[in-house]
Amino acid sequence: MEDNHLNLMIAGLSGQGIIMVERLLVMSLAQEGRNVLSADVPPWTHRNALTYCHIRMGEKLYSPRIPEGAADIIIAFEPLVGLQVSAVYGKEDALVIMNDYTVETRGLSRDGSRDMSGLPAHKYPDIEGILGHMAGLGIDKVRIVSGTDISFKETGSNRCLNMVMLGAAYSSRMIPVEVDTLENHILENTPPGTGQTNLKAFRSGLKLAL
Amino acid sequence: MPEEKYVPPTFLKWASGDVAKDYPGKTFIISCNEALARGAVEAGVRVVAAYPGSPLQYTIESLAIASSIYPSMHVEWSSNEKVAYDVTLGAAMAGMRAFTPMKQLGMNVVIDSLVQGANLGPAGFVLAVGDDPGALETENEMDTRYLARYAEIPVLEPTSIQEVKDYTLMAFELSEKIRLPVIVRITTGLAYQRSPVVFGKIHHEIRERDVSFDKNRRWILGDAFPWPMKPFGAKHMRFHDELPVKEWEGTVGSLPKASFTKEVIERLEWNELILPDRPVAGVIAVGECYQDTMEAIRYLGVESNVAILKLVTSFPIPENRVREVLKKTGSVLVVEQIEPFVEAQVCAVAANMNSHAKILGKLTGDIPVCNEVTRNIIGKALGKMLGRNFLPEEEEKRIEKGKDLLLKELSFISPPRFCPGCPELAAGFALKTVCNELYGEEVTYIGDVGCYGMMTVPPLNASYANLSMGSGISIASGIYHAGSKDKIIAYIGDSTFFHSGMPALVNAVYNKANLLLYVLDNRTTGNTGHQPHPGAFGITATKQATKMLDIEEIVKAFQVDFVKVVDPYDFEETTTVLKKALEVEGVSVVIARRTCALLAQRIMGLMEK
């Protein structure tokens, strides 16, 4: 890390709860007296568009935006998104925590024949290929998490994927905040009535102990 | 047409109202949109109007919350940006502080009233404009500062979220002092930042002051001057201190002159100058770019030997401070988002003082014009000035390799398409099916601005053009009048119809165009995050119940030759109606109405609870 700075990026497809995770992390870090800045890069309100957030922490900060090639940690909610964002922002040796559930609406299909609208599509690259591309850029610390599966198993829907990923990322011990602070914010600052479910999902991610 | 459940005006709960409450001295982590809203609330703003547009659409939501706490405040979603501007201008003319945030394309819509309105000399009137370097959120990367310059009104560019709050507040004071609208320019990179902001006092007394519309002010451009003075030019003359006879200054409303504005700007302490004894280079960093410029300077470790001018007022620029930098340094780098707007002004200052300092930036190619200016770009330019590398060569190669990978090997990953379940996708599919069957390739589809821009890409490929709000109908008419033998289809959305579709439709009917207008009515402003409009659910920005205008009734009054509402989820019904409509000579209108799938999902979720 450059002069005690931590550059953390959260990336996924719009609708996956990326900005919620950003807000919880920023609130928790700030509450513990850390100097923290953040910025989102949201797309239009369409579903399944690349969305990512910059979070920066350090003693002397001017910009919340992580420079290209300087992210220490990347939390990716979808494999191809993980590759896209790592290729631009990933530091050599960056830690990437990546969900393994693929979303194929962007002109892609699993077997390469037709996409969801019945048109010829490109084949969604396999995970090995994605990891190979990342390794070629010096990013080989990639932790694969079955986040969507865990979310379904623990909460009955994929809506808590973001909390599972947050838990998984936290378990890497790279995020300098007390677990109680983060859990409090999860209880208080998620949509009304969803606190306990979100906490459960967070803890199931935490158990992965990456 | 199935009955859609009526949604009560309170279908979305208010978020926290903290941003609007009295917490002087307290710190909150807020977004840029909230900071704009907070600045306006602290200034005691009375009337706010806007049309939704990224990246500033959330400002209105925060201000709507404020209006639920302070009932005298009026906050509205207007039908378009010009309407919003005129509403707020009216409020400013009536002596109240008024505010209108808009996206950069909104400035194009406003420009007519903006230029004239500046001449009238309104006070306490602030515009916020969201520019979009890199076109991350919009279709175009235009620099609105040229329009501000054209209208001859000042532009402020805050460099942090705290400054967004502070300078929005102070922009009202500045506007009152110089009697001009003031623009706060936000760029996308800044618009979505979130950081701690110290709140100030709310000026309730300003918001609650009495209305004072001066009927004797002559709020018009024509002043009755004797020949050979031009009756309409006088108000413009004040921008250039060229009023020939002193007595007439009174007639122009004793408005402050350009030299006064310049003086005020010159004295502002917002434009911070750090000038070391012997600087090795100079940097002028404008607005948002100040952040990444400082990151680059810090990374290079040259903080104490570079002259840095943090520029908040990008028009007019504080010339004396710029001169100081030019005098002390041999080369100056100007860093700003999008066009070399400040850079050209700095060049002019340098030329007039016979400075030999080299001015580097976008005009010299040291910084690219298009796309966002980031730390690495600034660092590279700075490194070149100082004769050293910014990033190690290997690292630069690695970053290039990453980008190459995306652009060359992974270029098949396409941008987003219609959301799953989108009623506009269903509507488009029905139309395409009918047109393929009836006309084959002999159809010309003309789009408009909205979610249905996705018609231009697979799977539908059913739109060949997509320009500006409300242009689709007129472009389609033009193609018809040019003599096209194709069947002509024009799309428009519901919010776009109210924005600027109506005059275009009137024109098409009056001038006997032959086309089908397909209204994709998803009952919300979908692209920008589901803001209400005159035809959606009968609710206002402040969640009050109001009249709901029916597009069907409106187009009937326009005497179109055919009109019918369909549910795009009902494929049989939709295709049958479309076939009928396509047979009609003249302007036929089919309204495909079904609530946006994302919004419907949210409404259903809230109803379950």
Per-residue model confidence (pLDDT) at position A44: 67
CA nearest to B186, candidates B117, B98, B289: B289
The residue of chain A nearest to residue B29, with distances taken between CA atoms, is A27
| Distance from the A128 Cα atom to the nearest Cα atom in chain B, whole angstroms | 15
The domains of chain B, with CATH numbers, are: 18-207 (3.40.50.970), 234-265 (no CATH), 271-409 (3.40.50.920), 423-608 (3.40.50.970)
The residue of chain B nearest to residue A114, with distances taken between CA atoms, is B459
Contacts of B398 (CB under 8 A, 6+ apart): A69, A92, A137, A138
CB within 8 Å of chain A, chain B residues 134-193: 136-137, 189, 192-193
Of the partner residues B192, B403, B416, the one whose CB lies closest to the CB of residue A106? B416
A contacts of B418 (beta carbons < 8 Å) = 46
Phi, psi of B580 (to 5 degrees): -65, -45
Q: What is the band of B480 on the pLDDT scale with cuts at 50, 70, 90? A: very high
- Dihedral, B241, B245, B250, B252 alpha carbons, nearest 10: -50
| Distance from the B85 Cα atom to the nearest Cα atom in chain A, whole angstroms | 24
Per-residue model confidence (pLDDT) at position B224: 64
Per-residue model confidence (pLDDT) at position B250: 58
Of the partner residues A46, A84, A137, the one whose CB lies closest to the CB of residue B401? A137
Per-residue model confidence (pLDDT) at position B5: 41
What percent of chain B has a predicted confidence (pLDDT) above 90? 78
Least confident of B17-31, B206-220, B223-237, B576-590: B223-237
| Distance from the A96 Cα atom to the nearest Cα atom in chain B, whole angstroms | 15
CA nearest to A10, candidates A32, A41, A44: A41
CA A108 – CA A130 distance, rounded (Å): 15
Judge contact between A194 and A157, C-beta under 8 A. Answer: no
CB within 8 Å of chain A, chain B residues 392-451: 395, 398-399, 401-403, 405-406, 409-410, 412-420, 451
Q: What mean pLDDT is predicted for residues B521-529?
A: 91
The answer on pLDDT for A116 being more than 80 is no
Per-residue model confidence (pLDDT) at position A1: 42
Q: Taking the alpha carbons of B240, B242, B248, B254 in that order, is the dihedral positive or negative?
A: positive
What is the residue range of A35's domain? 2-206
Read off the CATH number of the domain in which A88 is found: 3.40.920.10
Judge contact between A150 and A204, C-beta under 8 A. Answer: yes
CB pairs under 8 A between A and B: 149
Per-residue model confidence (pLDDT) at position A113: 77
A contacts of B451 (beta carbons < 8 Å) = 44, 46
The answer on pLDDT for B225 being more than 90 is no
B583's enclosing H/E stretch is helix B571-583
Q: For B240-263, how does the pLDDT look when each residue is reduced to its tens digit (9 = 90+)?
A: 877 766 666 555 556 788 889 999
The answer on pLDDT for B298 being more than 90 is yes
CB within 8 Å of chain A, chain B residues 301-360: none
Partners of residue B319 on adjacent β-strands: none
Per-residue model confidence (pLDDT) at position B414: 77
The domain tally of chain A equals 1
Per-residue model confidence (pLDDT) at position A115: 65
Q: What mean pLDDT is predicted for residues B208-213?
A: 96
| CB-count exposure of residue B394 (10 Å: 0-12, 13-18, 19+) | exposed
Q: For A35-91, how does the pLDDT look when each residue is reduced to its tens digit (9 = 90+)?
A: 999 999 876 668 888 999 999 999 889 999 999 999 999 999 999 999 999 999 999
CA B581 – CA B584 distance, rounded (Å): 5
With CB atoms and an 8 Å threshold, state whether A38 touches B451. Answer: no
Of the partner residues A38, A125, A192, the one whose CB lies closest to the CB of residue B194? A38
Per-residue model confidence (pLDDT) at position A136: 96
Q: What mean pLDDT is predicted for residues B548-576?
A: 97
Q: For B36-54, how does the pLDDT look when each residue is reduced to its tens digit (9 = 90+)?
A: 999 999 999 999 999 999 8
Q: What is the band of B4 on the pLDDT scale with cuts at 50, 70, 90? A: very low
The answer on pLDDT for A127 being more than 90 is yes
Q: What is the band of B475 on the pLDDT scale with cuts at 50, 70, 90? A: very high
The answer on pLDDT for B565 being more than 90 is yes
3-class state of residue A195 by DSSP: helix
With CB atoms and an 8 Å threshold, state whether B402 touches A63. Answer: no
Per-residue model confidence (pLDDT) at position A112: 77
Pairing of strands B587-593, B331-335: unpaired
3-class state of residue B355 by DSSP: coil
CA nearest to B193, candidates A43, A148, A101, A23: A23
With CB atoms and an 8 Å threshold, state whether A87 touches B402. Answer: yes
Q: Taking the alpha carbons of A28, A30, A36, A41 in that order, is the dihedral positive or negative?
A: positive
Candidates B164, B194, B374: best to mutate against A (most CBs of A within 10 A) is B194
What percent of chain B has a predicted confidence (pLDDT) above 70? 93
Phi, psi of B577 (to 5 degrees): -65, -40
Least confident of A204-208, B4-8, B360-364: B4-8
Of the partner residues B136, B395, B530, the one whose CB lies closest to the CB of residue A41? B136
* Strand order through the sheet with B358-360: B273-274, B306-311, B281-286, B331-335, B358-360
Joined tokens for residue B440: 């084959």
Q: What mean pLDDT is predicted for residues A164-189?
A: 95
